[in-house]
Amino acid sequence: MIKNRRLLSSYFFVAISISIVLYIMGAFFLIAFNARKISNDFKEKIPITIYFKNSAKKIETVQLQKKINLKPYTKSINYVTKEKGAEILIDEIGENFLDFYGSNPLLNSIDIFLNFNFVNTSIFEEISEEFKNLEFIDEISYDAPLVSLINDNLLKIKFWVLVLASFFLIISIIIINGSIRLSIYSNRMTIKTMQLVGATKRFIRKPFINTHINLGLIGSLIAIAMLSLSIYYIEDLYQDLNLISDVTLILSLFASILIFSIIITSICTYFATQKFLKLKIEQLY
C-alpha cells in the first residue's frame, strides 16, 4: 500500500514537472514566434504627422490624403482636426490649456501610418522631402530616434531570443531527465530483479518507457491547457496582439509540445533504465 502511494507520488511529480517545464517552454516559444509580429505591429503604430496651415483649403488636404493613400508605403491615414487634437492634448496633460491661450493654437493634421517594411529613417525622410515644400503644409514631424532605435536593435533582439530559446530547451531537457531518473531510481530494485530472473533489457525497458510516455502526454496536455488559458487571458487584456488569429501557429506549437514530450520522455527513460541495467547489485544501494 505504502509502495503504491510512493509510486503514484513519483508519477505525479514527473507529470507535474513535465507540464510546468513544457508550459514555460511553450510560453517562451509563443512569445518568440510572435516577436516579429509584435515588432511589426509596433512599427505600424509610429506615425509621420503632416500639419496644415490654417490657410489650407479642404480640397487641398483631401487631394493630399488621396495621393498618400495610393503610395505603396501607406497602411492607413488618420485626419485629426485641431479641435480633436485639443481634446486629445487636454486628456493627456489633464489640464485645459485653451483657458491659458484663449484660442486653439493647434493645427489640422494627418497621421500617416506606414506598412512595417517601410518603417525606417530613410523612408520617413523621403516622405518629408516630398511634401514639405507644398504651400499649404506648415510642418512634417516624426520620431526619428525611435525609428532608428527599433531598426538598430531588431537584430540584437532576434539573436537574444534565439539564445534564450536554446537555453530554455536545454533546461527543459535537463529538468525532465532529472524527474524521470528519480522515478526510475525508485524502481531500481524491480529492474534488477527482473534482470536476474532472465528478462531481456528490451522487455524491462518497454513498460517504463510506455509509462513515462503516458506521463509525458498527460504533462503536455496540462501544459497545453494552461497555455490556452494564458493565450485567452492575454488576448482579453491586449486585444491588439491578435494571438489567436494565427491558428496554424498555435496548433503547430501544441503539436510540437506533444511530439517533444513523447520523444524526450522515451529517450530519457531509455538511458535511465539502461544505467541501472548496467549496475551490479551492490551498486544499487
Write out the three cell numbers for 86. 485639443
* Alpha-carbon torsion angle 247, 72, 46, 245, nearest 10: -10
> Does the 47-142 domain belong in CATH 3.30.70.3040?
yes
CA distance 128 to 54: 19
Beta bridge partners of residue 142, listed in sequence order:
48
Tens of pLDDT, residue by residue, the chain (285 residues): 544 555 566 677 777 888 888 888 888 777 777 777 777 788 888 899 999 988 888 898 889 999 999 999 999 999 888 888 777 777 877 777 666 666 777 888 999 999 988 888 888 888 888 888 888 898 888 887 777 777 777 667 777 777 877 787 788 788 778 877 877 777 777 777 787 787 777 888 888 888 888 888 988 999 999 988 888 887 777 666 666 667 788 888 899 889 988 888 888 888 888 877 776 665 555
Q: DSSP state, 272? A: H
Strands (DSSP E) contained in the chain are 47-52, 74-80, 109-114, 137-142
Closest by CA to 242, choosing from 230, 234, 252, is 234
The ranges assigned to domains in the chain are: 2-41+150-284, 47-142
* Alpha-carbon torsion angle 202, 206, 209, 214, nearest 10: 170
3-state helix, strand, coil in the chain (%, to 5): 75, 10, 15
Within its chain, how far is the Cα of 136 from the centroid? Answer: 44
CA distance 269 to 213: 9
What pTM was estimated for this model as a whole? 0.63
Write out the three cell numbers for 230. 494564458
Please count the other Cβ atoms lying within 10 Å of the Cβ belonging to residue 285: 6
Contact 176, 268 (CB under 8 A): yes
CA distance 182 to 13: 10
Closest by CA to 169, choosing from 276, 10, 32, is 32
User: Assign residue 34 a region: left if phi > 0, alpha if psi is -120 to 50, beta otherwise?
Assistant: alpha
Angle between the 247-278 and 201-237 helix axes, to the nearest 10 degrees?
Answer: 150
